[in-house]
Structure 1
Amino acid sequence: MREKLVESGYAAGWAVLKLLPEPVVGVLGDRIADAVWRRQGRGVHQLEKNLARVRPQASPAELRELSRAGMRSYLRYWMESFRLPVWNDRKIADRMQVDGIEHLVAAMESGRGAIITLPHMGNWDLAGAWVVRHLGFNFTTVAERLKPESLFDRFVAYREGLGMEVLALTGSDISVIGTLARRLREGKLICLVGDRDLSAAGLPVDFFGETTRMPAGPAALAQRTGAALLPVTLWYDGPVQRARIHPPVEAPAELGRQAAKSAMTQAMADIWAAGIARHPQDWHMLQRFWLADLPSTPQPQAAADETSAEPSPRAQQGEPR
């Protein structure tokens, strides 16, 4: 019953919100966000704990206001995503401002392929639609399989409608890592979310002075294929979303393969941390993130190989992102 209700809610969002005037949708999103924020549920409480790491000097009152802004940003993501399928090319172009385009264009024109990696910031779907429609680069991404299956199918259809190839993380005979590597060797683009992986295969990184784990997949794929590894940060700036495509993260030539993979993952983490520090309200991390917050912490593998390094799905509290 719960799964049917969840699916019905998403279906209603896609069916109804695209019909409403945009100002009405914006006000509705803020009101829903404020109502959830006032309830102080588990997700909001965890968001405030995470933001306390980002802004350690903030007072309790400042953290509360920051978490309120964070929930409004998170609901803005959903409201935009429900309406995104009916936005035309001009609308998408008007809603995005991107710096560092030259890094992506250079990688794609060289034929080496590119891996865009980003944290749970802003609206990844809007950025992806902009890459497809404005730059003309279709890309491959990964989605976590959801229950019910019909909800997963809805999200796959939604993203495929925006021009993305979507691979299911589990439940398929297709090798995710193998398919992504093949796309890169063909000189194509893949996009992965890379700021959270609490599995044993995740690589430990320092993030705002504490240890967490991030997926080894993006760095491993770059090593394996020679593709450019391009970290991206996203944030809202008034009515538009801004993005910065950072210069490629290179494998340190003086390090061995595993050490280089760890160094590349830490370099991405440092870039994301700087972006999150500037725009903490747009980091949509409502889950436990640092190892210190976990009830029990498995020991990280010292040498996670490429085949076990799965890219992280864009998900929040069971919701596809």
Structure 2
Amino acid sequence: MNVAAAYTFAWRNATKIPEPVLRGLFTVVADVTWLRRTKGVRRMEANYARVRPDLDAAAIRRLSRAGMRSYMRYFREAFTLQGVTPEQLKARVRVVGYDEHVRPGVDAGGAASLALGHLGNWDLAGAYGSRYLAGVLTVAERLKPDELFDEFVRFRSSLGINVLALGSGDVLGALVRGAKEGSRLIPLLSDRDLTSTGIEVDLAGHRARVAAGPALLGLEAGVPVHAVSIIYERLRGDRRRAARTPWGIVITFHPPLPVPDAGLPRDERARLLTQSWVDQLARTIVEHTHDWHMLQRVFVDDLGPARQNAARRARETG
């Protein structure tokens, strides 16, 4: 199967299908995938079990069904996002905490480093942010084949999001330069370490490896670091009619994280900053677990031997 061609076809044709039909189709895809207990579903359930030890196996199984429906909702919305009008976009998003915690600095010409998890719909959040809040600069995992990655870049560019490819040159340097240009939001999906050089933290009571990007960007560029959580919510009444869909998202900008003592080593300052945003997102993950689209290994105990050895060497060498 040509994955890039399939994604391209979906992006170009999904908007031609009535929304209720498309919604039903993706719900069926979610349920069939869940019933088949694919590798991704099993990993999702293992991750859910770690953050929700209060639930038994049957409850985790039910939670993973809701998780797959939430995940397929993300894809359905992504495939049709280019056809959403500004009015629909505004109706689909509710923002909490931006005016209090972020807007004053950005409006004054500053930037903000935003630590995101794979929660809700981050593309919808990016599209809204680029239109209604500030310029958006981010980093994307370089997908294979290259044609698929190029499609993702074109898609996000069409939403007003500037994208850097992870692993292409000095990405951190480019982010720092972007932050210093000012009036910019820099959201980074960071609840999974894609490089094996991330930072080990406590996530909901378990050791996990996450990306160092938000903390390093904050320290290098001298900009505030915020955790940002995104969850789905049901729409009703006038807002649902304006959105033309029963689902919207809530983007919560948490307060800026305290900057660690400048006298500490750089790595320790990055670790402390990272643990702080992980603590804030962990609360959202526990409370809205079904909106956490984590179908990959993130906890240290689940990593393969090679990555466990890399993590151990990283701890030993600081």
Unaligned runs of 5+ in 1: 306-321
Q: Determine the C-alpha separation between the residues in 2 that align with 1:258 and 1:272.
A: 21
SS, match of residue 284 in structure 1: coil
Q: Determine the C-alpha separation between the residues in 2 that align with 1:202 and 1:132.
A: 28
Q: Determine the C-alpha separation between the residues in 2 that align with 1:138 and 1:82.
A: 22
Pick from 268, 279, 282 the counterpart of residue 277 of structure 2.
Answer: 268
Contact 1:183 1:189 (C-alpha < 8 Å) held by counterparts: no
1:300/1:124 CA distance change after superposition, 3 Å: farther
Q: Determine the C-alpha separation between the residues in 2 that align with 1:304 and 1:222.
A: 23
Give the alignment's TM-score, normalised by structure 1. Answer: 0.89
Q: Determine the C-alpha separation between the residues in 2 that align with 1:43 and 1:28.
A: 20
Pick from 207, 220, 234 the counterpart of residue 211 of structure 1.
Answer: 207
Shift of 1:146: 2.1
SS, match of residue 75 in structure 1: helix
Match of 2:175 in 1: 180
| Identity across matched positions, percent | 41
Higher helix share: 2
Shift of 1:268: 0.6
Aligned partner of 1:122: which letter? G
Contact 2:210 2:298 (C-alpha < 8 Å) held by counterparts: no
Match of 1:110 in 2: 108
Shift of 1:269: 0.6
Pick from 127, 147, 167 the counterpart of residue 125 of structure 2.
Answer: 127
Q: Are residues 1:236 and 2:249 paired? A: no
Shift of 1:189: 2.4
Q: Are residues 1:202 and 2:198 paired? A: yes
Aligned partner of 2:107: which letter? E
Give the alignment's TM-score, normalised by structure 2. Answer: 0.90
Matches within 5 A, 1:12-31: 12-31=9-28
Deviations 1:81-137 (A, max 9, x none): 0000010111111000110012221220233311122000010000001111122x1
Q: Determine the C-alpha separation between the residues in 1 that align with 2:193 and 2:313.
A: 11
Contact 2:51 2:205 (C-alpha < 8 Å) held by counterparts: no
Pick from 47, 54, 73 the counterpart of residue 50 of structure 1.
Answer: 47
Note the aligned Cα RMSD (angstroms): 1.7
Q: Determine the C-alpha separation between the residues in 2 that align with 1:269 and 1:33.
A: 28
Match of 1:310 in 2: none
Unaligned runs of 5+ in 2: 235-246
Question: How many residues align structurally?
Answer: 299
Contact 1:54 1:208 (C-alpha < 8 Å) held by counterparts: yes
Shift of 1:225: 1.2
Q: Are residues 1:85 and 2:63 paired? A: no
SS, match of residue 102 in structure 2: helix
